């Protein structure tokens, strides 16, 4: 849907391309169109920056700040290994650390031969929301008892929950006073709780 709308267009007409593409389809918005349109937008700004011989941030008005905070991604197969990885990042200066227990994304996924065809969050998936959601619990993340109150911990759910599961997980994680809980719901569920 997007590609035919770009052929022959003037690359410098970024806003016109974005607006007309965003509103042109029968099914407007949604994650697929937004991802495609985001890629097109970045590419068009990159072209404009190269033509001007300037970095894109200069074209958009210059820098806003000298630095931005960022976070590290700590992992571990056990709580102890995760805590050790968190400490490693704290020692090199990170103040915010995202915690992932086990192989990234692997705990919630089950082999297809056991999972079969499941419908979760409105789409076919072999992902076990129960396993992913409740694996992260009081005994599964580093605690203030071991790390103190200085570090800001985060956790990513990867959009695999339904609203009632997101609420349950948030309650479980409340004692950790997370800095943020990332991607609790898929975009199509955000209006349900908003």
d(CA 81, CA 83): 5
Q: State the pLDDT at residue 113.
A: 41
Name all domains of the chain by residue range, CATH numbers in brackets.
3-59 (3.30.390.10), 72-193 (3.20.20.120)
Given strand 72-76, what is the order of strands in its sheet? 72-76, 96-101, 152-156, 180-182
Would you say how long the chain is, in residues?
194
Q: State the pLDDT at residue 34.
A: 87
d(CA 147, CA 150): 8
Return the beta strands (E) in 30-151 as ranges.
Answer: 72-76, 96-101, 118-120, 123-125
> What are the residue numbers of the active site?
104, 158
Q: State the pLDDT at residue 121.
A: 40
Q: State the pLDDT at residue 80.
A: 86
- Whether the predicted model's global pTM rises above the 0.85 cut: no
Q: State the pLDDT at residue 98.
A: 92
Judging by DSSP bridges, how do beta strands 152-156 and 180-182 pair with one another?
parallel
pLDDT per residue, tens digit, the chain (194 aa), is 888 889 999 999 999 999 998 888 776 777 888 889 999 999 999 999 999 999 999 999 998 888 888 999 998 888 888 889 999 999 999 999 998 877 554 444 444 444 434 433 444 344 455 554 555 554 556 666 778 778 898 888 888 788 888 888 888 888 878 899 888 888 777 664 44
d(CA 36, CA 89): 34
């Amino acid at each position: 849907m997007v590609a035919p709308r770009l052929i022959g267009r003037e690359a410098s007409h970024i806003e016109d391309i974005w607006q007309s593409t965003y509103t042109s389809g029968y099914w407007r918005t949604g994650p697929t169109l937004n991802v495609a349109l985001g890629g097109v937008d970045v590419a068009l700004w990159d072209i404009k920056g190269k033509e001007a011989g300037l970095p894109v941030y200069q074209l958009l008005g210059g820098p806003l700040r000298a630095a931005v905070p960022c976070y590290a991604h700590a992992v571990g197969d056990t709580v102890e290994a995760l805590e050790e990885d968190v400490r490693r990042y704290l020692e090199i200066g990170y103040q915010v650390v995202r915690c992932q227990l086990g192989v990234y994304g692997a705990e919630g996924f089950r082999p297809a031969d056991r999972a079969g065809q499941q419908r979760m969050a409105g789409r076919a998936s072999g992902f076990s929301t129960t396993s992913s959601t409740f694996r992260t619990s009081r005994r599964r993340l580093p605690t203030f008892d071991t790390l103190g109150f200085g570090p800001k911990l985060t956790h990513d759910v990867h959009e695999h929950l339904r609203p009632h599961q997101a609420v349950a997980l948030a309650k479980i994680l409340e004692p950790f006073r997370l800095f943020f809980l990332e991607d609790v719901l898929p975009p199509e569920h955000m209006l349900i709780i908003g």
